[in-house]
Amino acid sequence: PGETFLQVGVPSLLALLLTTPTTPGSRLLLLPKKEKPEELLTSLTTLDSSLGAMIASTYTRERPTDKREQGKTLVEIQFRAALKDLKWSDATKCSKAIFDFLDWRKDGFISEDDLAILAETSGPASLEKVDAFRVWLCQTAKSLEELRASKGTPFPEGPMRLLVRKMDPEGSGSITYHDFYRALKLLKHPDATTKHSGPILELFASIDLSKTGRLSIEDFFHLTVLSARHQLTLVTSVCKFFQQRFGSYKAGWKVLDTDGQGQLDAPIWVDLMQKQGYQNRQELEVCAYFIDRDGSMMLSGKDFELLSAFTVENVVADLERLRSHWEQAHGSLEDAFRALVAECAATTLNAEAFTNAVRNADLALKVHGRLLFKALDPTRTGQLMLEDFIMLKHQHHVDALAEASESLKAPTSSLHRFLSWWCLPKVANVEGSEAHRWKRLHQEMLRVTADEIY
């Protein structure tokens, strides 16, 4: 009886397992209680016959004949197949990159709302948008600091730490897109009005370059690197204009320092530069902060002399030399930071302490240590904490973001062109906003794949 049950009864159970839904983990079957195996076998005979016939019928039919309820989401294979059926020529080579970007939950499905995000975005945030987010975050943190100060409550955290605490209040060390969105909504970010926000997804994607859907705290601080690099490009733009306008930094300073006192308030210098034809005030303010060596917001000719060797490439190269030196000297950047702050009996590094550490490294650097400090301090706190300092080893994140953005540029542009073609009156009568047209496309993709099993 035991052998008979194994030969006949087990196939019945396997057939049942194959035809019933599953949940992550395992399937559980509730079977009738029988004292002998042969009694259980007899009770399963009818089930065995019915399932056998059902499975045989299903696998000999190319398409289902019943009017089953249509799903509301697309899996990756279905996403690609639908776009191929709808005649998108780049479906085979481009669909995966777009699907991975839109699948922010990382559950293998995208809804019509997910697809409609393409009405607002086409990939990770640019350096400019990341820096704009940094500006907003600093302003928000400052407002909270002033509010707490008025109530006599200490505010010991910087802007990045504030957002991390809002995202991960329990300190789990793992941050999802939902955590990121929820924190920004609590802080009243203007774009955090819905989970399907293109600008918010852009920011998250600019950090989650591994496309896992989960960020560590260290991943999140990559925003500092991205923001800093954008500020360096702004300084480059101002410096280029300055040299083209005046011929040299020294000549330009003589023109602007009309009273010959050797110093100018930073706001006055900004005003004078605008009168000279450089109209973007925000870029001028970034440049003024960057070249202000001592944080006094008083600029001098010596400040501009430090710019003689300034280029983004030189700054990046010098930061890499410092990273290599401190890792070799101390074993890791974390240990290097602890050693450096211990030397000045502090918990953070200010500009003077950092510049002294750079000088003591005795490296052939091209850019002054003060400027290198500013390159690591885009939040303008005047202090480097550990998470700021260890960004020395994450400068490559800028290149990774550029590669991620470039990898999505062609696919999303192609899909946008396809949507425009698909929405022509002779192809489909699709009206309304761009988001609505993306949703209609999603509905059509579900329709053309309704008869398939995915």
Tokens of 347: 């918990």
Can you give the pLDDT at residue 149? 66
Query: For residue 430, is pLDDT > 70?
Result: no
Cα–Cα distance, 385 to 388 (Å, whole number) = 5
Can you give the pLDDT at residue 426? 40
Can you give the pLDDT at residue 70? 58
Instruction: Name the pLDDT band for 399 (thresholds 50, 70, 90).
Output: very high
Pick from 223, 275, 225: which is nearest to 395 by CA? 225
Can you give the pLDDT at residue 12? 61
- Report the chain's terminal Cα–Cα distance, integer Å: 40
Query: For residue 6, is pLDDT > 50?
Result: no
Q: What is the pLDDT of residues 121-148, one digit of tens each?
A: 989 999 999 989 888 887 887 777 776 6
Query: For residue 1, is pLDDT > 80?
Result: no
Can you give the pLDDT at residue 105? 87
Contact (Cβ atoms closer than 8 angstroms) between residue 123 and residue 202 = yes
Pick from 410, 452, 449, 454: which is nearest to 83 by CA? 449
- The contacts of residue 238 (CB under 8 Å, 6+ apart) are 273, 278, 283, 284, 286, 287
Can you give the pLDDT at residue 13? 64
Instruction: Name the pLDDT band for 157 (thresholds 50, 70, 90).
Output: low
Pick from 248, 218, 262: which is nearest to 394 by CA? 218
Can you give the pLDDT at residue 68? 46
Query: For residue 9, is pLDDT > 60?
Result: no
Tokens of 206: 């600019």
How much is the CA Rg of the chain, to the nearest whole Å?
A: 30
Q: What is the pLDDT of residues 348-364, one digit of tens each?
A: 999 999 999 999 999 99
Contact (Cβ atoms closer than 8 angstroms) between residue 43 and residue 34 = yes
Q: Identify the residue with better confidence: 415 or 155.
A: 415
Q: What is the pLDDT of residues 222-265, one digit of tens each?
A: 888 898 899 999 999 999 999 999 999 889 999 998 888 888 99
Can you give the pLDDT at residue 29? 65
Q: What is the DSSP letter of 25?
A: S
Bridge partners for 300 per DSSP: 263
Which of 152-166, 177-191, 287-301, 428-442 has the highest mean predicted lDDT (pLDDT)? 177-191
Q: What is the pLDDT of residues 59-111, one digit of tens each?
A: 555 555 555 445 789 999 999 999 999 999 999 999 999 999 999 888 899 99
Q: Following CA atoms 113, 114, 119, 125 in sequence, which dihedral angle do they give, to the nearest 10 degrees?
A: 140
Query: For residue 155, is pLDDT > 80?
Result: no
Instruction: Name the pLDDT band for 173 (thresholds 50, 70, 90).
Output: confident
Can you give the pLDDT at residue 451? 79
Pick from 169, 186, 178, 172: which is nearest to 208 by CA? 178
Contact (Cβ atoms closer than 8 angstroms) between residue 442 and residue 415 = no
Bridge partners for 414 per DSSP: none
The rounded mean pLDDT for the chain is 84
Query: For residue 445, is pLDDT > 60?
Result: yes
Determine the average pLDDT of the residues in 290-315. Answer: 86
Residue 128, SS3?
Answer: helix
Determine the average pLDDT of the residues in 42-48. Answer: 72
Instruction: Name the pLDDT band for 57 (thresholds 50, 70, 90).
Output: low
Can you give the pLDDT at residue 428? 46
Pick from 418, 320, 397, 403: which is nearest to 361 by CA? 320
Q: List the single range of 183-192, 375-384, 441-450 with lowest mean pLDDT.
A: 375-384
Identify residue 422 by its one-letter amino acid code: W
Cα–Cα distance, 8 to 41 (Å, whole number) = 8
Contact (Cβ atoms closer than 8 angstroms) between residue 314 and residue 282 = no
Can you give the pLDDT at residue 154? 56
Q: List the single range of 43-52, 191-200, 312-321, 383-392 with lowest mean pLDDT.
A: 43-52
Determine the average pLDDT of the residues in 324-331. Answer: 96
Cα–Cα distance, 377 to 225 (Å, whole number) = 9
